[in-house]
Structure 1
Amino acid sequence: MRSKSNNPVSQILLGGVLVLFVVLGGRLVYINAYQGTALLARAERQQQSIIPLKHRRGLVVDCRGRMIAGTMLRKSVFADPKVIEDKDAAARTVAEILGVSPEEIAPDLNAAEGNRFMVIRRGVDDEQAQMIRDANIYGIGLFDEPYRVYPMNQLAAALVGFVSPDGVGVSGLEYQCESWLRGEDGLKTIVRDARRKAFWLADGGYRPARDGFHVLLTIDAEIQATTERELAKCIEQYKAESAVGIVMHAQSGAILAMATSPGFDPNHYLDFGPVRYRNRAITDPYEPGSTFKPFVAAAAMEEKVVRLGEVFDCENGAWQDGARLLHDHHPYGALSFEDVLIKSSNIGMAKIGKRLGNDRLHRYMRAYGFGSKSGIDLVGEDSGILQPFNRWNSFTTTSIPMGQEIGTTPLQLARAFCVFANGGMLVQPYLIRAVLAPDGRVLNDFSNPPPERRVVSEAVAKTMREKILSQVVEIGTGTKSKLAQYSVFGKTGTAQIARRGGGGYEPDAYVSSFIAGAPTKDPQLVVMVAVTRPKKSIAYYGGTVAAPVVREILAHALAYLQIAPDRPDGRTVASVEADGVGGD
C-alpha cells in the first residue's frame, strides 16, 4: 500500500496550491510596490465627497430696513469630476434629466481633476432634483445655491445695480459694495460607507460659510417709488426720452431718492439694453441753463457787487455785448436784482457776471463743487465740465451766469442747491448709512458726514431762499410747483442740448428742469428733476414740464415724513405771471 505523500494526485494539488500562493504573493507585492499609492488614492476618492456650503450675499435695505436686494435658495446640480468613474454614462443620464444633450454636460464632467466642484445646472425644479437623487450617480449631487433677488423689481435699479450669474456685483451698489456684501463659501468633506451613504465628517473636513454683510441705505423706498412713478408719468405725458429725479435731505446730505426713468428690472437685466443701466443722476452732465443762475447771483451778493433792489437794464430783450448778441425770452426793460432771477433774464445775469469777473466766477463755481466729483459712494460718477481758468474768455463771463459753457450732473446741482437750504454749507451727499453684520450689529456708521466747506454766508443763503427763490415759485416761472400747506423755493431751467463734439446746439432739443426746497423757513428737503428731450410741440419749459413733478414728489415726501406745514391755513401768494414766464 502506497503512502499519501506519494499519491500523485495529492502532489499535483499541493503543487497547484503552492503555485497559486506564489502568484498571489507576487501580485500583492507588485500591487503594494507599484500600484499601492494609486489604489489608495482611488479608494479615498471613492470614500470621500466634497459638499459645498455656499455663503449668503448680504442684503441691501432702505433706511427703514425694507429689502431692496436679497438672497434666496434654489436647488442646483454640481459634479465632482474627480470621483466620477464612467463620465460618459453620467453625462447621458444627467443630460436626459435636464433635457439637454450629453455634449453640453460632458465638458464639466471632464474638467481637470483638481477642480472638485463644477456647477452643472442652476435652479432645477423639484421633479428634476428628485430624479438626480434617484439616479444616485457618485460624484453628481445637489446643493442649496443662494441667488440674488430684487423683490421691489425696478425700484432703484440703476442705483443698486445687479450681480452676475455667479453672484458677483456688476454695477451700482452691488459692485461698489462687493467687499462688504460678498461672504466666503465653506465646505464639508463626507466619508461614505460601502453603500455610499454618508458616514462621518472627514478630519478637518468642515469649514463653515461666512455670510456677507448687510448694507443699510439712506434711500427711502416709499419716496423712491413716488419719484420713479412721477418721472414715468412725465415721460409719458411729454413724450420725453428720459428723466432723472433726486431727493436730498438738505441738512445732512442724505439721498432719500435717486431715480432714473425709464429703468429696468435687475431680476431680468438681460432683457434690457445697457443704456438702461446708467445712473444718469451721476453719469450724464448737461448744460444746466437757468437752474444755474442762483449760484452766480448768490456769489455776487457774497462779494457785494450787487444789492437787493438794485435795478438792471435788460435792454428790452436784446443786448450787444462786444461781438456777442444776447437775448431774453421776453423783452424786459428795467428789472430789480430780485426780478432778474424771478423772471430769469439772461441779459440781467450776464451783467451780474461781468461785475463778478472771471476770477471770482471760477472760484465760486469750484466752491459749489462744480467741475469735480461729489465723492458720493457710487462708481461711475462724472466730474462734470468746468473749463480750466486759462481757457476762460470774455464769452465765458456772460455764458456761465446763464448756465452755458458748463456741464453739471443732476447730483451736482442738487448738492449745490442745498447751500441755500442749510445756511451756506456744501454738504457731502451719501447713500450708505451703515454696514451691518449678519446678526445686525453696526460695523461701520457713515451717517451725517460733516459739511465740506462754507460757500456763502448764512445771511446770503437766507436772502436767496426767502426773498428771491421763494418768489420764483410764488409769482415767477415756478408757480406750478406751489403747495397749499408748504412754502417752496426753487428755480426753473430750460436748456438747449449741445451738439456732441461742439458746434452749437441741437434744434428743438431741450432739458427741462426744476430744482426746489421746502419748507422755506426751515428747509428739510431738496428735490431736483431734469427731463431730457420732451416733445417741443407739447411743452418744453422747465416751469411747465418739470415743476409739477417736483410738486408731486415734495407733497408726498413732506407729508410722509411728517414734516410740519408752515402754511397750515393753506394760503399762498396769488400768481401774477403767466405759466412759463421767462422761457423757463
Structure 2
Amino acid sequence: MDEKDKLVSSSRLFFVFSVIVLILITIVCRLYYISAVHGDKLKLMAEKQWVDKTMIKPTRGEILDRNYNQLATNEPSSRIDLDLRTLKQSLKDKNIGIDTLENQLSSILEMDKSNIDKIMNSNDEYSALKRGVSSEQAKKIQNLGINGIVISSDTTRYYVNGNFLSQVLGHTNSDGQGLSGVELMYNKLLTGTPGVSISEVDNKREDLPYNQATYTKPIDGKDLVLTIDAKLQLFAEKAADAALKTNKAKSVTITIMNPKNGEILAMVNKPSNNLNSPNNSEDLWKNNAVQWAFEPGSIFKAITSEVALETSKSYENQQFLCNASVSVDGNLIYNWDKADHGMMSLQDILKNSNNVGFAKLGMQLGKENLYSHINKFGFGTKTGIDLPGESSGIVKNVKNVKNLDLANTAFGQGVAMTQVQYMSVFNAIANGGKWFTPHIMKETGNFNKGNEFIGNSKFKDTKAKKIMDKDVTTTLRGYLEKVVSDGVGKNAYVKGCNIAGKTGTAQKAYADGAGYEPGKYVSSFAGMAPYQDPKITLIVSIDEPDASNYYSAQTAAPVAKELFSEIYNYTNYIYNK
C-alpha cells in the first residue's frame, strides 16, 4: 500500500473514531442531563413500579356529650379502590370488557355508571372508587374474582341519634373530612395522623417473597367532649318540633346555656337533617343560633334597661308618659296594644313591654351613650364561638344614627344579632356582669383500656371580661322576674322556678335591609332561673309563626315554660334536689 492509500485509510479511521467518540460524548452528556434534570422524577416512576405505598387511615375521634354519651362514632365498613393497570390486564386475561365490569360495579355499588367510567378511564394508576361499602357489597365485589379491585377495611361516620343536634354536629364527606359543624371546626383534632405501609411488589402489584414491609402506625384522632347535655338537648328537640308544628312556623331555634361560664347545654334548629341519610338542602345545614342575624324586638328592652340603670340610678324612679303612640321626627311609634297607659316607671315599661316608654328612654339616653354600650357589649362583632359560619350581626355606625333609629333601637328594631350574641350579654345580666365566650367544646382526650376517659385539653376562655355593674344586674333581674310573674311573660311562669325573662316580637326585615316584610315576624323569649342566682339561661326564637297568632307571649313564652318546667322537674340545674 503506497503512502497515498495509507493516508486515506488513516483519515477514514480517524473519521470513524471521531464519530464514535462524538456519539459516546453525546450519550454521556444525554445520560448526565437525564440524571441531573430528570433523575428524581425517573426515580419516583421506578419506585411506583416496584414499591407499594399504602396510607393507613387513622380512626376518627368520637364526639360525646358532657356526660360521655356517644353522639358521633364510627362503624366498620369497606372501601373499594382500583389499581387500574393491574385491573385492565386482568380484564384482558379474562376476556372481559370494561363496559361489562362497569355495569356489574354500578349494580352492586349503586353508583352511576358514568361516574365509574370516568374513574376507569382516568390517567391515574390508582383511584378510589367508593367508601362506606357494606360487607354484603364487598363480598359481591370479591366474588367477581378480578385482580386490581382492592377491597380494604374502612369506617363510616355514624350519628347515634339521627337528626339529634344535627346542625351543631355537622357532617363529613366520603373521605371522613368534616364539612360543617364541629366536624369541620375540630376536623384536624378528630382526624388524627395517617400511618403508612411500604413494601416491594412485582409487576402484578403482589408482594415479593421474603419482603419485609416498613410500617408506621397511624395516630388516631382525639375524642371531642361537648358542653351539650343530651337530656337538655332532648327536651329542646321535642319542644322545637312541637313549636314548629303548632305555630306553622318557618323555623324554630332554641339555645340553652350555663350563664356562669358560657357553656352551651343545648342548641337546636328545626327543621333539621338526619345525619345518617342527609338532605343536601343548604337551609337544613344552617345553624340559625350562630349564622342567622335577626332583629330581636322587645327582648332587647332588657339590654336598654341595663344601659339606663348603668347610666343613672335615677332611672329606677323615673316616670314615663306612655300614650298610645309617640311621634319621632314625624314618624309615629305605637305600643304593641295601641293603648294609653299613663305614667309608668322603668320597671313598668319593661314589665308591660311598652314601646312608647322605651322610645322615650332611648331618646333620653342619647345615641352616643346607647351605642357605646351596644358596642361595649359586643353586638356587631363575632363572639368567637367555636362553630363555623358565625354572623357578626348588624349595628349602625353611630354617626349615621338618626332620632328614629335611636328610638327604634331602644325597643329592638333596626339592630340585628344572633342568638349567641344576645345570650352572651343576657348571661352577663344573669351572672352579675361578666361576659363569657359562648362555646361548645368542653374537653378533648381518649378512653383508656379500662374505658375511663383521659382528658388532655380543656376549653380556656381568654376573652372573658366584666361588662356590667353587679348591683345593676341584681336590680334588673328583679325587674325581669316581674315580667314573668306579673307582666307580658306570664305564659312562661312555672311555680317555684323563679324565672326572670322577656318576650319579644319583631317585624322581619327584608334580606337586603330595605324595610320590613308585611305579615312576617320573629317571636322570641329569653329567660333565666332562678332569678336570684341564675344557673340556666335560654332563648326561644320562632321565625315566621302563623300571622294570625304571632305575638311571643302566645308563641315563644309557652315553649320556654315547657322547657323550664322539664329542667326544673327532671334535672338539678336550677335547684339541687
TM-score range, shorter chain: 0.7 to 0.9
Does the alignment pair 1:408 with 2:417? yes
Paired letter, 2:325: A
User: In the TM superposition, what are the counterparts of 1:433-444 in structure 2 within 5 Å?
Assistant: 433-437=442-446, 439=448, 440-444=453-457
For residues 300 and 98 of structure 1, do their structure 2 counterparts lie closer, same or farther at Cα, with a shift above 3 Å needed? same
For 1:444, give the aligned amino acid: S
- The match for 1:64 is 67
Post-superposition Cα deviations, 1:456-482, rounded to whole Å, max 9, x if no partner, equal 21111000002x100000010011111
Closer/same/farther in 2, CA of residues 296 and 107 from structure 1, 3 Å limit: closer
Q: Write the deviation string for residues 168-213 of structure 1: whole angstroms up to 9, x where unpaired.
A: 1111111111111112333434567999986768445323222212
**What CA RMSD, in Å, does the superposition of the two structures yield over aligned residues?**
2.9
Q: What displacement does 1:140 show?
A: 2.3
Please state how far the C-alpha of 1:510 moved relative to its aligned partner: 0.8
C-alpha distance in 2 between matches for 1:543 and 1:150: 36
> Structure 1: how far apart are the matches of 2:228 and 2:309?
35
Q: Distance in 2 between matches of 1:105 and 1:408?
A: 47
Q: Which residue of 2 aligns with 1:169?
A: 178
Matched, 1:561 2:576: no
Pair 1:247–1:43, CA change in 2 (3 A): closer
CA deviations 1:405-458 (Å, max 9, x no partner) are 1111111111111121100111211111122247554332115x2663222211
The equivalent of 2:485 in structure 1 is 474
Please report how far the alpha carbon of residue 96 of structure 1 lies from its aligned counterpart in structure 2 after TM superposition. 5.9
- Is the aligned partner of 1:280 residue 2:288? yes
Which of the numbers 311, 323, 328 marks the counterpart of 1:321?
328
Cα drift, residue 549 of structure 1: 0.8
Distance (Å, rounded) in 2 between the aligned partners of 1:499 and 1:124 = 45
Query: Which position in structure 1 is the counterpart of 2:192?
Result: 183
Q: Output the CA distance in 1 between the equivalents of 2:106 and 2:284.
A: 34
Amino acid of the structure 1 residue aligned with 2:457:
N
* C-alpha contact (below 8 Å) 2:64/2:71 kept by paired residues: yes
Cα distance, 1:123 vs structure 2:
3.9
CA distance 1:85–1:472, shift in 2 (3 Å):
closer
- For the residues of structure 2 that align with 1:215 and 1:348, how far apart are their CA atoms? 48
**CA distance 1:93–1:504, change in 2 (3 Å):** closer
- Aligned ranges 1:36-47 → 2 under 5 Å: none
Distance 1:195 1:360 in 2: 78
Q: Decide whether aligned partners of structure 1 residues 86 and 410 sit closer, same or farther in structure 2, where only a CA change above 3 A counts.
A: same
Displacement of 1:305 in angstroms is: 6.2
Distance in 2 of aligned mates of 1:450 and 1:128? 50
CA displacement at 1:544 relative to structure 2: 1.1
Hey, what does 1:220 align to over in structure 2? 229
Distance in 2, Cα, partners of 1:327 & 1:208: 70
Alignment of 1:501 onto 2:515: no
Does residue 446 (structure 1) correspond to residue 474 (structure 2)? The answer is: no
User: Structure 2: 5+ residue runs without aligned partners?
Assistant: 1-43
Determine if contact 1:48/1:189 at 8 Å carries over to the other structure. yes
1:385 paired with 2:385, answer: no
Instruction: Tell me by how many angstroms 1:97 deviates.
Output: 4.7
2:455 maps to amino acid: V
CA distance in 2, matches of 1:130, 1:322: 77
Q: Deviations over 1:194-247 (max 9, x none)?
A: 999867684453232222122111111221121121011011111111111000
Contact kept in structure 2, 1:162 and 1:169, CA below 8 Å:
yes
Partner secondary structure for residue 490 of structure 1: strand
Deviates more, 1:192-201 or 1:384-393: 192-201
Contact 2:106 2:116 (C-alpha < 8 Å) held by counterparts: no
Report the secondary structure of 1:63's partner residue.
Answer: coil
SS at match of 1:484: coil
Residue identity matched to 2:306: A
Structure 2 CA distance for aligned equivalents of residues 415 and 201 of structure 1: 64
- Give the Cα separation in 2 of the matches to 1:217 and 1:56: 19
Question: Deviation of residue 71 (structure 1)?
Answer: 1.4
For 2:522, the equivalent position in structure 1 comes to: 511
State the distance in 2 between where 1:484 and 1:463 align: 21
- Give 2:30's aligned residue: none
| 2:385 alignment counterpart | 376
Give 3-state SS (helix, strand or coil) of 2:84's partner: coil
Given the superposition, is the C-alpha separation of residues 103 and 356 from structure 1 closer, same or farther in structure 2, using an over 3 Å criterion?
Answer: closer
Indicate if the aligned counterparts of 1:176 and 1:378 stay in contact, CA closer than 8 A: yes
Q: Which residue of 1 aligns with 2:301?
A: 293
1:544 equivalenced with 2:554 (yes/no)? yes
Q: Aligned in 2, Cα 1:243/1:103: closer, same or farther, shift over 3 Å? A: closer
Check the 8 A contact 2:177/2:184 in 1, yes or no. Answer: yes
CA distance in 1, matches of 2:64, 2:283: 25
Q: Is the 8 A contact 2:58 2:192 kept in 1?
A: yes
TM-score, length basis structure 2: 0.83
* Aligned residue number for residue 154 of structure 2: 145
Conserved in 2, the CA contact under 8 Å of 1:132 and 1:141?
Answer: no
Tell me the residue number matched to 2:247: 238
Structure 1 stretch displaced more, 477-486 or 247-256: 477-486
1:485 paired to 2:496: yes
More displaced stretch, 71-80 vs 406-415: 71-80
**Alpha-carbon spacing, 1:135–1:47, altered in 2? closer, same or farther (3 Å):** farther
Letter of the 1:324 counterpart: N
Question: 1:369/1:200 Cα in 2 relative to 1: closer, same or farther (>3 Å)?
Answer: farther
* Matched residue SS, 2:366: helix
* Counterpart selection for 1:265 from 260, 274, 278: 274
Deviates more, 1:248-257 or 1:347-356: 347-356
Unaligned runs of 5+ in 1: 1-40, 569-584
SS at match of 1:307: helix
Deviation at 1:111, TM superposition (A): 4.4
Taking the aligned partners of 1:359 and 1:195, their CA distance within structure 2 comes to: 78
Q: Which amino acid aligns with 2:487?
A: G
Closer, same or farther: CA 75–201 of 1 in aligned 2, 3 Å:
farther
Identity %: 29
Query: 1:332/1:105 Cα in 2 relative to 1: closer, same or farther (>3 Å)?
Result: closer
State the shift of 1:314 in Å. Answer: 0.8
What corresponds to 2:35 in structure 1? none
The Cα shift of 1:132 comes to 3.9
Kept in 2, the 8 Å contact 1:213–1:438? The answer is no
The reply to whether residue 308 of structure 1 matches residue 316 of structure 2 is yes
Is it true that 1:398 corresponds to 2:410 in the alignment? no
Provide, for residues 93-152 of structure 1, a one-character-per-residue CA deviation record: whole Å limited to 9, x for no partner: 754653549876555455446x4x422333444444334444443332210111211111
**Are the aligned partners of 1:306 and 1:337 in contact in 2 as well (CA < 8 Å)?**
no
Q: Which deviates further from its counterpart, 456-465 or 305-314?
A: 305-314
Between 502-511 and 409-418, the greater mean CA deviation after superposition: 502-511
Determine the C-alpha separation between the residues in 2 that align with 1:138 and 1:43: 22
| 2:531 equivalent in structure 1 | 520
Following superposition, the deviation at residue 560 of structure 1 comes to: 3.8
- 95 and 207 in structure 1: CA distance in 2 versus 1, 3 angstrom threshold: farther
**Partner in structure 1 of residue 474 of structure 2:** 462
2:81 partner SS: strand
3-state SS, counterpart of residue 396 of structure 1: helix
Residue type matched to 2:177 in 1? V
1:64-109 C-alpha deviation (Å, 9 max, x unpaired): 1112222112122222234446154474675465354987655545
1:268-313 CA-to-partner distances (Å, cap 9, x unmatched) read: 22x3411111101111111111100111111111111643233211
Larger mean CA deviation between 415-424 and 471-480 belongs to 415-424
> In structure 2, how many angstroms separate the alpha carbons of the residues matched to 1:512 and 1:296?
19
Instruction: For 1:145 and 1:49, locate their aligned partners in 2 and report how far apart those are by CA, in whole Å.
Output: 19
Asked whether the 8 Å contact 2:200–2:213 carries over to 1, the reply is: no
The TM-score, its normalising length taken from structure 1, stands at 0.82
- Tell me the amino acid that sits aligned with residue 456 of structure 2: L
Following the alignment from structure 2 to structure 1, what is the Cα–Cα distance between the partners of residues 264 and 539?
12
Letter in structure 2 aligned against 1:86? Q
Name the aligned partner's letter for residue 285 of structure 1: A
Of 543-552 and 321-330, deviating more is: 321-330
Amino acid at match of 1:307: Y
Task: State yes or no: 1:86 paired with 2:89.
Answer: yes
Q: Which amino acid aligns with 1:276?
A: L
